[in-house]
Amino acid sequence: MLTSPNGVAAAHKPLAGLRVLEVAQIMAGPTCGLMLSDLGAEVIKIEKHPAGDDARQYQKPGDTALPPSFRMINRGKRSVALDTRTPEGKAVLQRMVAKADVLTENFRRGVMERLGLGYDDLKAFNPALIYCSISGYGREGPMASKGGFDLILQAFSGLIAATGEPGRAPVKPGFSVADTNAGILAAFGIVSAYVHRLRTGEGSRVDTSLLQAAMQQTYWLSANYLSTGRDTEPLGTAHSLIAPYQVFQASDGGIVIGGGNPKSWRGICQVLGHPEWEADARFDHPQRRVQYRDELSALIDGALATATVAEWCERFDSIGVPAGPVQTTGQALEHPQTRAVGMVIDVPDMGDGITRAVGSPVSFNGRSEPVTTPAPRVGEHTSEVLQEFGFDAAEIEALKAQGVIAQG
């Protein structure tokens, strides 16, 4: 059972006792593993020998420490370094599968099958296995064999074309939305398959892809196209169906204001000292406020210029108008509200003392703090994990001598 650095077991977590083999790397698959680990699952990274997860190399020039990006999404896991390209390595994984609940992988379609480690191969060793694949474009269709990358699928799905300022070049969202969402969807699929197994005893094959994860983010964009035949043009931070609903400028920075209903719109006019806007023929109906968004935005910016973001937020909050500051990532991480909901946690790290990480976005019975450990070195737990899976000391030493496994 995985324990926290202070020795407290993860038994109170809903997935405690679930054993996951993460034969996945870089971001989408490890994000899935992180979500499951924070819910109490025991996640074991099966890393290629000798290099390990490719994301271990994503360092800035001159860096030698384990990359922060890798540490962020691989905490709470243990690492086994295993060469699955060899018959001996494949046999090791097969034995582990027999005692596992879940296997995740995010290679191109056919890679695991060519290694003899596809779902049909491994369910022979464990019929109750939940086998989750994250691919680039899905397992069916004319592009199923293509590799997938977050940037490429953001572009392919229409996300980039809909992002940016009007009349300017398209912009990639500033985060890996396809990768991250694919990992979340994979975890959702695994938990659903686990519920099914608890009811029926049956294993499942779970599939998702970066394409599906990116397209799933386009609900409103797709609704517009499928109902009108027109694509949504980039609007910066504005909303295609609501105004005012975007970033505005106060005297010292950006502030977002949401006028999504009549009450909020009246409150905006009241707080800004312009009750006459309610009766203005350009703004007296939600559709006209969208039609005359540019004129309305200019008026709001002019009014906001007389006070600071903090002052305006206090005024809007006092009457229940949705508003908030435009913060940097650092400001968001340092905010007491972020810590209060468990989204910043302390994590003991290798030789670095206490560091911080993004926590679990889900809480149970008022508890969200993950039982976690530092991100592992390549093969750090190889011997201890194999012992738990029934390998004796002689077998482990023989596998080391053959170069099939490594102890980090």
Do residues 180 and 59 both lie within one domain? Answer: yes
What is the maximum alpha-carbon separation in the chain? 84
Q: What is the pTM of this model?
A: 0.94
Do residues 161 and 118 both lie within one domain? Answer: yes
pLDDT digit string (tens) for 149-184? 999 999 999 999 999 999 999 999 999 999 999 999
Question: What is residue 6's predicted lDDT score, i.e. its pLDDT?
Answer: 35
Do residues 116 and 173 both lie within one domain? Answer: yes
pLDDT digit string (tens) for 301-352? 999 999 999 999 999 999 999 999 999 999 999 999 999 999 999 988 766 6
Do residues 356 and 268 both lie within one domain? Answer: no
Distance between CA atoms of 231 and 221, rounded to whole angstroms?
A: 7
Do residues 182 and 83 both lie within one domain? Answer: yes
Range of the domain at 267: 245-327
Do residues 376 and 287 both lie within one domain? Answer: no
* CATH code of the domain covering residue 251: 3.30.1540.10
Do residues 38 and 185 both lie within one domain? Answer: yes
pLDDT digit string (tens) for 347-359? 887 666 668 999 9
pLDDT digit string (tens) for 184-225? 999 999 999 999 999 999 999 999 999 999 999 999 999 999
Do residues 47 and 173 both lie within one domain? Answer: yes
Do residues 279 and 170 both lie within one domain? Answer: no
Query: Which of the following is catalytic: 38, 53, 83, 179?
Result: 179
Phi, psi of 287 (to 5 degrees): -65, -35
Query: Counting beta carbons within 10 angstroms of the beta carbon of residue 69, is it exposed (0 to 12), middle (13 to 18) or buried (19 or more)?
Result: middle
Query: Counting beta carbons within 10 angstroms of the beta carbon of residue 29, is it exposed (0 to 12), middle (13 to 18) or buried (19 or more)?
Result: buried
User: Is residue 55 domain-resident?
Assistant: yes
Q: How far is CA 269 from the centre of its chain?
A: 38
Q: Kindly tell me if the per-residue pLDDT of 368 is higher than 80.
A: no
Question: What is residue 353's predicted lDDT score, i.e. its pLDDT?
Answer: 65
Question: What is residue 239's predicted lDDT score, i.e. its pLDDT?
Answer: 94
Do residues 157 and 302 both lie within one domain? Answer: no
Question: What is residue 109's predicted lDDT score, i.e. its pLDDT?
Answer: 94
* CATH code of the domain covering residue 103: 3.40.50.10540
Residue-averaged pLDDT of the chain: 94
Residue 179 a catalytic site member = yes
Do residues 58 and 79 both lie within one domain? Answer: yes
